[in-house]
Each structure stands twice: as C-alpha cells, then as structure tokens.
Amino acid sequence: MNYITVSEFATDSFIEKRSEFIGYICPVSTNDEALNFINRIKSEHRKAKHNVYAYILRKDNISRYSDDGEPQGTAGMPVLEVLKKRGLTDVCVVVTRYFGGILLGGGGLVRAYSHAASLACDAAHIMDMRLCHRLKISADYGMYGKISYLLPAFDTITVSSDFGSDVTLEILVLSEKLEELRKELTEVTNGSVILTDEGELFEDFSSVKTL
C-alpha cells in the first residue's frame, strides 16, 4: 500500500539539436486533476509543436499517455516508462517540445523525451508515502530519556513536543512497527506511559532511513 510520489510542481529543460524540451511534473490524484494540468501546460505553450504527456494514478490503477503528434511509441510511452522505472504514482508529466528544424529520428526522440521526463523527476521532491499511525506519548520527565533513546530504533518521526507538567510527544510510527513500539514503551516505563493512537494515515518518510 505504500507509494512514491512528488510533493509539488517542478520543471527542467534542455536543448537537443535546436529543439527545446521542457519537462513538467505535478502531483495529481484523479483523472480530472491530470487532465487539468495537461491542459494548463498546453495553454501556456500554444506555439509549441508537441505537448506530450503521461500519468499514473493509484486509484483504479490508471496509466495513460499521448504522443501528441510525434511518431507512435517515441514520446508518450518513453515518458510513462520513466515514471514506472522510478516507481512513481499519482503524478503527471508533460514534456513540451519546441521544434528546432532538425529531425531527431525515432531513437533520438525516445532518448530526448525520456531525458526531459527524468529531468522533471530529478527537479521534484520525491515523497516516500508510508502507511503509519500518529501516536501520542505522555509520560513524566523521569521517563523522557528512556523514551527518546528508544524512538530512533523504530524509525519514528517526531511531529511535536510539549514539555508541560508532563512530557507529551506526538510521533509517526510505521504501521508494521506500532505494536512492537507499544510493547517496548510500556516495558521501559514500567507501564507508566500513556499511549493514544490518533489514527492511521499516509505520511512522507523520505527523510527516514527505514530498515
């Protein structure tokens, strides 16, 4: 159920034999969002020769692409393959081409569109979305050292810390590690810790080197 996507719009470009290729990437979660993004890029580049696109959605396992006038199989499919090889989903990539007057040939087009898509992906912040729980931990100050020492071993992310009359931490813990963490926290605090599960959700764990 875990998935990899991008956090926000990003773009990059390059020139190949006078043709400019501009790659755009954007997070999308529905077919309508993907089409709206494609149409937005097309409207911004009405004078471009081609606006090739590909997108992949988690919902209903949808993947679509368009060569937009380029020879069949030389544009949209290579862009889609870049997304698949990187394991990206809920994303849409549009590659705009301003034709420079020099034909690239089939192989040249495949390489150019693949490269433009890769540049767009490289420009984006990649998110490793993992199924996790938001867990509230409350304990007295005497237990804080033991708790803070334990948490990194479970690849947790600390969302907030409140040092009031007691210590209250809100953390994200991967769903598959939740029960083991509960057990360890209860043991190291001799049962004095108060744990409140605030629900399951997807969050970005790209900054955490999980085992």
The residue count of the chain comes to: 211
pTM, 2 dp? 0.86
Close Cβ partners of 21 (under 8 Å, ≥ 6 residues apart): 13, 14, 15, 95, 96, 97, 112, 113, 115, 116
pLDDT score at 209? 67
Q: How many CB atoms lie within 10 A of CB 103?
A: 11
Q: Write the pLDDT tens digit of every residue in 103-160.
A: 889 999 999 999 999 999 999 999 999 999 999 999 999 899 999 999 999 999 999 9
Sign of the four-CA dihedral 89, 92, 96, 97 = positive
